[in-house]
Copies of this chain bind each other. A is one copy, B any other.
């Protein structure tokens, strides 16, 4: 698992975003429309300043009895989130997520979010890489023996 976050795990993409003053209703609609579990928050210059996830919506809005139509993103977002760099290794990213319990991490470059990685993306990639390792090792073993 020697890959880098970009381009081995994810590609650069436009990540759906909201601003601190948007309502939870707006944020939830964007997440539902895009079938995504996390949304980034950007300032007026497009700089990454926060993240919200489905878990935040469950815990900080619904479980708190708040009204999603009037509560704003700035009230519940995680400000200044940890980020990955495009060149970070997939292995380090997986360890960071496992250690801290994250399920999503934004990939930032010069303060802007250029992609987002989920722990599932990483697991899927680990699985693929390991399967390939096994295939290659087995091809080596059996190729060696059958050809002898």
Contacts and interface: CB of A to CB of B under 8 A. Distances in A.
Interface of A: 24-25, 28-29, 31-32, 37, 54-55, 57-59, 61-63, 65, 67-69, 119-120, 123-124, 126-127, 130-131, 133-134, 137-138, 140-141
Contacts of A140: 141
Given A65-B69, A123-B123, 19 more contacts: A28-B62, A31-B59, A32-B58, A32-B63, A54-B54, A54-B55, A61-B62, A65-B68, A67-B67, A123-B127, A126-B127, A130-B130, A130-B134, A133-B134, A134-B137, A137-B138, A137-B141, A140-B141, A141-B141
Prevailing SS type, chain A contact patch: helix
